[in-house]
Amino acid sequence: PEFFEGVDLLLCEASLYNKYLGVVEGHLTAGESGKMARESKAKRLILTHFPHSGDHGDLKKEAGEVYNGEVSLAEVGKVWEI
């Protein structure tokens, strides 16, 4: 997290729900993304690269369990101002 410490916006993958922690190598759970945002002191977290199934709103909840900042889900055409 030192590389991106204090960023205004962290765009981070959330390919897995927390229940799959350690099951798929090379991809992050929503909780791991939240932890990275918290440890790097990011001002906002945007999750992207979602799983193909399930309720993506759960990803936002899972990241928010460990990160107290603003968490959003990436959307096609959505624009965030920094």
Q: What is the pLDDT along the chain (82 residues), one digit of tens a residue?
A: 688 899 999 999 999 999 999 999 999 999 999 999 999 999 999 999 999 999 999 999 999 999 999 999 999 999 988 8
Q: What is the pTM of this model?
A: 0.92
pLDDT value of position 10? 97
The phi, psi pair for 69, rounded to 5°, reads -80, -175
First to last CA, the chain: 20
Which of 31, 34, 52 shows the shortest CA–CA distance to 42?
34
CB–CB of 80/46 below 8 Å?
yes
The phi, psi pair for 25, rounded to 5°, reads -70, 140
